[in-house]
């Protein structure tokens, strides 16, 4: 069974994860909407193409709005990370084989500690990869960004492979060597790494598309937001597909 | 290697070589003009009495030590009715001589975000000799032509000025010739002037005579952080001795280029009816020449900025066209644009007669296209602004120390007009997708910050660096005041008044009162704005408006504090009839009766406008009724608030300043208000787009991390 077939065979999982993402983003935006509304009330603005100066004026008068926006963005990222962590065991188990929803939830709960520990281990190599952006020790200039991206995708596929191995029962749940074995598996199976990296890149491209769409359509019709949500749902599918690549590699 | 591969390799090599080919040292062949001024038929008359101080300078640049050694001979004519016994001079470069000069005390080693250089930190000018060469028309002086006499001189308390003591008086109508030897040490580029590697921007580098005011005597201001310059008009003959490899751009026209000592050249320049002389020299400068209506345009830049030349030229020509039409002909035959290299940022954006420095165009990044981000202000706006200074204060030579608003603020006004003339009806500055920011928006944003600390009409040294009020107040608030007046008075009246001011004060030293008088005279003491309903027409008192806006620190801010439909007062209760008996006694509708359930005749639309800012001026109100009709009415804005009522009408919404005329009003969020229950489905117009944007960014971050 290919990774894509595994994904398409679990439409409920995709829908559930996408809805969770959309729900988190919408919920985080809601307090911001209330704050902006309170800052403007009882007035209105009727300048469809001239919102930027109005935004500058409202934020200069209410700097807490800028803070609230930052908090929403950070909280969204943290919650997304938490969501994938909590769901990881269930997601992998469901991508391995069809099963009832209850079994998926049970797997998520059963493997949560292990997924969390492995996730914590992966923070170290991810941190090292990100440090490459800050410190150009190799003198690579702009090429270091590409190197960081490669390193980041390696961390991602290694964690996916390690977690999949734990779910299969092929690896120790909490031992750091499990993650190291994931790295070894990724490096020795470059096609798996490549497919995973391509899907990571596709996810990144979808995120950039969301930003571009939001910027270009800012202040425009509400259909823009629905297009953004559609792209985000596709992005969730791409992430699941990437995990399915690791699951599929372990099953072969 | 196959033949095909060889061909491909050769093509690649050629294309690489083509990319590495340096651009030509000169583009365009517009010749150097033979006269420093345009023909009289094109430039108009130059008043003879405006020529007061002629300068002959012979200077030598040592490009190793970045030092200039020179002699300046000044012929000064006393055109006032006063006699003088001293000659005060500006030694502007001494502002950078030590950390305790007036300029440096305020700047604390920083100017426009640029730090003072560490290598060549100090700049100075040292006067080594002052000689009175002759005073052919000064009978009181104990010298005659051909009998040079050494004069005493001393720096004043601040070294940016000095005073020369004359042996006798120079009376009205007399003249004198003095010669000064000087050594100027340039600093590493800082605050408009200095060197960066081989690039030299040489401004405010020689001793400059102060201005003798007929009423007040000598005006010789100390050079302070926010002040610029002030000098009399005259003719300049300048000889520059520079290394042969130097490409030089200077005020005026070049009249000769002769070999000097070994490896050097002597370049001679002439400028007529100017009040300053600046120049730039660098061996790596490329030259782009063009011409517009007999004016030679010369741009000098390094290869790094060569691609910007066409964009700057378009902006310059557009500004020339706009300003000639609005403020009269540009009198000089030349304009030189210096593009300082990237390591000389402190020299960017400064004006001198017939020469200015600009700043680079920001090159669009690939991600700009992704976001739909465009800008058309970087670099070219500097060109528009600095060229505008050829009029404000190159031609209308106000005292930049005493009244900086007269040049910076009026120039900002002219820049906005030039931008509109150039970009027609779409003068956007920045665009992001479907959103745009125009020049008015930029002005209003500046007004929301520190423009209420100091008045516009204040000397330059009043604006302290820590207050950050100088730029917003002097540039933006002045511009906003003038553009608001233009919107209220009508463009034809305002433009004609400004043109009359420009015509009257060319080659002279106008003051703020002269400008205000010209505006009041041209526009009229009061402007009829429109109907105020039963209170009659509303008028703008032009002088009062200008006085408040320019001398005060009050802001313009109007707010809609009440927009609603109320039950109209009817006839419920007891009233006396014609015989004096109490009749009636009807009850009013119950308090809880919803307005919607009342007949239209029982309702009145009510709007309260509050003047939240301290500045008193009229504002227009537009009300839109529930039946789709709308009405406009003016309020004179003299009291703190006013209540408008429309019996028998139901209001949907009200809007202040519907035509966006009050550029001086920085806070606009409180200008549109819906009656309760009438809010549009889209909400307040800002919450939804901002929230949607935040949600989209959150989703992008959530999906982009490969978690």
Q: Which residue of A has its CA nearest to B700?
A: A207
Would the CB atoms of B698 and A47 count as touching at under 8 Å? no
Distances (CA, A) of B476 to A248, B244, B482, B664: 64, 44, 10, 9
Output the pLDDT for position B391.
98
**Containing H/E element for B293?**
none
Q: Give contacts of B441 with chain A, Cβ < 8 Å.
A: 50, 52-53
Judged by a CB distance cut-off of 8 A, whether residue A116 touches chain B is no
Q: Which residue of B695, B697, B705 to mutate against A (max A Cβ within 10 Å)?
A: B695
B391-553 belongs to CATH 1.10.390.10: yes
Whether the Cβ atoms of residue B45 and residue B308 lie closer than 8 Å to each other: no
Whether the Cβ atoms of residue B477 and residue B447 lie closer than 8 Å to each other: yes
SS3 B92: helix
Fold: same for B51-232 and B391-553: no
Would the CB atoms of A57 and B448 count as touching at under 8 Å? yes
Measured between alpha carbons, how far is B297 from B295 in angstroms, rounded to an integer? 6
Would the CB atoms of B691 and A60 count as touching at under 8 Å? no
Q: Buried (b) or exposed (e) across B539-549, using 16+ Cβ within 10 A?
A: bbbbeebbebb
Would the CB atoms of B696 and A228 count as touching at under 8 Å? yes
Whether the Cβ atoms of residue B671 and residue B444 lie closer than 8 Å to each other: no
Q: Give contacts of A217 with chain B, Cβ < 8 Å.
A: 433-434
Q: Right CATH number for B51-232 from 1.10.3470, 3.40.720, 2.60.40, 1.10.287?
A: 2.60.40
Would the CB atoms of A53 and B445 count as touching at under 8 Å? yes
Interfacial A residues in 213-232 facing B (CB < 8 Å)? 213-220, 222, 224-225, 228-229, 231-232
Q: Where are the domains of chain B?
A: 51-232, 391-553, 554-689
Interfacial B residues in 679-698 facing A (CB < 8 Å)? 679-680, 683-698
Interfacial B residues in 163-182 facing A (CB < 8 Å)? none
SS3 B132: strand
CATH of domain B554-689: 2.60.40
Would the CB atoms of B696 and A211 count as touching at under 8 Å? yes
Measured between alpha carbons, how far is B523 from B411 in angstroms, rounded to an integer? 20
Would the CB atoms of B703 and A210 count as touching at under 8 Å? yes
Using CB atoms, pick whichever of B444, B683, B689 lies closest to residue A219: B689
For chain A, which residues score pLDDT lower than 70? 1, 135-141
**Containing H/E element for B135?**
none
Output the pLDDT for position A48.
81
Using CB atoms, pick whichever of B560, B684, B705 lies closest to residue A45: B684
Using CB atoms, pick whichever of A25, A30, A84 lies closest to residue B699: A25
Q: Which residue of A has its CA nearest to B693?
A: A214
Angle between helices A223-251 and B687-704 (to 10 degrees): 10
Judged by a CB distance cut-off of 8 A, whether residue B655 touches chain A is yes
Q: Where are the domains of chain A?
A: 3-251
Would the CB atoms of B689 and A72 count as touching at under 8 Å? no
A193 phi, psi to nearest 5 deg: -60, -45
Using CB atoms, pick whichever of A51, A79, A152 lies closest to residue B686: A51
Mean pLDDT per 10-residue section of chain B, whose length is 707 residues:
45 46 76 96 94 98 97 96 96 96 90 80 96 68 65 96 94 94 96 94 97 95 93 98 97 96 96 98 96 96 94 97 97 98 94 97 89 91 97 96 97 96 86 92 88 93 91 95 98 98 97 98 95 81 98 97 95 93 91 88 96 97 96 95 96 97 95 93 89 93 71
Output the pLDDT for position B335.
98
Count of A–B CB contacts within 8 Å? 222
Judged by a CB distance cut-off of 8 A, whether residue B434 touches chain A is yes
């Amino acid at each position: 069974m290919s990774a894509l077939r595994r994904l398409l065979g679990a439409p409920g999982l995709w829908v559930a994860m996408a809805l969770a993402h959309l729900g988190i983003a919408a919920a985080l935006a809601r307090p911001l909407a209330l704050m902006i509304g309170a800052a403007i009330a009882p007035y209105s603005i009727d300048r469809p193409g001239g919102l930027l100066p109005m935004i500058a004026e409202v934020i200069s008068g209410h700097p807490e709005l800028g803070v609230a926006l930052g908090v929403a963005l950070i909280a969204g990222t943290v919650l997304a990370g938490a969501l994938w962590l909590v769901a990881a065991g269930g997601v992998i188990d469901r991508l391995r084989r069809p099963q009832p929803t209850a079994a998926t939830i049970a797997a998520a709960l059963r493997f949560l500690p292990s997924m969390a520990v492995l996730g914590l281990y992966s923070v170290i190599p991810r941190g090292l990869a990100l440090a490459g952006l800050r410190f150009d020790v190799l003198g690579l200039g702009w090429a270091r960004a590409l190197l960081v991206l490669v390193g980041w995708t390696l961390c991602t596929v290694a964690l996916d492979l390690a977690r999949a191995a734990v779910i299969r029962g092929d690896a120790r749940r909490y031992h750091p060597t499990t993650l190291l074995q994931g790295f070894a598996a990724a490096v020795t199976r470059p096609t798996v790494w490549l497919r995973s990296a391509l899907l990571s890149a596709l996810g990144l491209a979808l995120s950039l598309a969301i930003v571009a769409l939001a910027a270009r359509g800012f202040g425009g019709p509400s259909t823009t937001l629905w297009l953004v949500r559609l792209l985000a749902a596709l992005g969730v599918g791409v992430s699941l597909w990437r995990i399915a690549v690791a699951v599929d590699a372990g099953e072969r | 290697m196959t033949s095909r591969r060889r061909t491909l390799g050769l093509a690649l090599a050629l294309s690489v070589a083509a990319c590495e080919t340096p651009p030509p040292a000169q583009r365009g062949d517009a010749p150097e003009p033979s006269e420093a001024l345009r023909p009289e038929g094109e430039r108009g008359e130059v008043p003879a009495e405006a020529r007061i101080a002629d300068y002959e300078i012979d200077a030598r640049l040592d490009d190793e030590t970045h030092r200039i050694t020179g002699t300046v001979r000044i012929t000064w004519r006393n055109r006032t009715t006063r006699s003088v016994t001293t000659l005060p001079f500006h030694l502007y470069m001494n502002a950078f001589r030590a950390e305790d000069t007036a300029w440096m005390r305020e700047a604390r080693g920083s100017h426009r975000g640029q730090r003072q250089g560490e290598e060549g930190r100090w700049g100075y000018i040292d006067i080594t000799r002052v000689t009175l060469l002759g005073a052919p028309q000064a009978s009181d002086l104990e010298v005659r032509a051909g009998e040079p006499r050494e004069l005493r001189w001393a720096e004043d308390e601040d070294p940016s000025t000095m005073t020369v003591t004359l042996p006798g008086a120079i009376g009205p109508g007399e003249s004198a010739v003095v010669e000064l030897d000087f050594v100027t040490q340039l600093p590493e580029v800082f605050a408009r002037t200095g060197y960066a590697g081989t690039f030299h921007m040489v401004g405010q580098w020689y001793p400059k005579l102060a201005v003798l005011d007929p009423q007040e005597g000598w005006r010789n201001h100390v050079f302070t952080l926010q002040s610029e310059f002030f000098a009399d008009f005259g003719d300049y003959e300048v000889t520059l001795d520079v290394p042969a490899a130097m490409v030089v751009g200077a005020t005026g026209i070049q009249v000769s280029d002769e070999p000097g000592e070994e490896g050097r050249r002597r370049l001679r320049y002439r400028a007529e009816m100017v009040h300053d002389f600046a120049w730039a020299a660098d061996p790596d400068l490329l030259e782009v020449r063009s011409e517009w209506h007999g004016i030679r345009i010369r741009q000098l830049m390094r290869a790094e900025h060569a691609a910007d030349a066409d964009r700057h030229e378009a902006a310059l020509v557009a500004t020339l066209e706009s300003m000639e039409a609005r403020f009269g002909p540009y009198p000089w035959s030349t304009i030189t644009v210096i593009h300082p290299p990237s390591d000389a940022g402190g020299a960017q954006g400064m004006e001198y007669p017939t020469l200015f420095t600009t700043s680079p165009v920001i090159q669009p990044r690939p991600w700009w296209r992704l976001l739909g981000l465009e800008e058309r202000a970087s670099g070219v706006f500097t060109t528009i602004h600095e060229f505008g200074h050829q009029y404000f204060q190159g031609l209308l030579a106000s005292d930049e120390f005493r009244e900086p608003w007269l040049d910076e603020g009026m120039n900002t006004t002219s820049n906005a007009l030039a931008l509109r003339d150039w970009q027609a009806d779409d003068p956007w500055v920045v665009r992001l997708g479907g959103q745009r920011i125009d020049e008015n928006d930029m002005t209003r944003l500046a007004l929301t910050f520190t423009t209420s600390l100091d008045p516009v009409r204040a000397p330059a040294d009043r604006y302290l660096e820590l207050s950050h009020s100088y730029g917003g107040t002097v540039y933006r608030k002045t511009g906003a005041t003038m553009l608001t007046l233009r919107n209220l008075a009508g463009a034809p009246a305002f433009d004609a008044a400004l043109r009359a001011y420009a015509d009257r004060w060319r080659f002279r030293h106008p003051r703020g009162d002269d400008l205000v008088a010209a505006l009041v005279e041209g526009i009229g003491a009061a402007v009829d704005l429109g109907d105020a309903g039963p209170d009659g027409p509303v008028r703008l008192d032009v002088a009062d408006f200008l006085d408040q806006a320019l001398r005060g620190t009050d802001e313009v801010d109007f707010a809609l504090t009440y927009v609603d439909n109320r039950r109209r007062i009817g006839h419920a209760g007891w009233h006396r009839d014609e015989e004096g008996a109490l009749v009636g006694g009807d009850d009013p509708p119950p308090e809880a009766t919803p307005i919607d359930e009342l007949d239209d005749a029982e309702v009145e639309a009510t709007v309260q406008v509050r003047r939240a800012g301290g500045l008193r001026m009229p504002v227009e109100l537009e009300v839109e009724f529930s039946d789709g009709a709308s009405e406009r009415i003016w309020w004179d804005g003299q009291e703190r608030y006013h209540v408008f009522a429309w019996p028998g009408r139901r209001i949907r919404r009200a809007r202040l300043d519907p035509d966006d005329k009050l550029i001086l009003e920085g806070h606009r969020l409180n200008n549109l208000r819906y009656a309760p229950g009438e809010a549009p489905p889209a909400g307040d117009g800002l919450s939804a787009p901002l929230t949607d944007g935040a949600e989209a960014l959150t989703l992008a971050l959530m999906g982009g991390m490969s978690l």
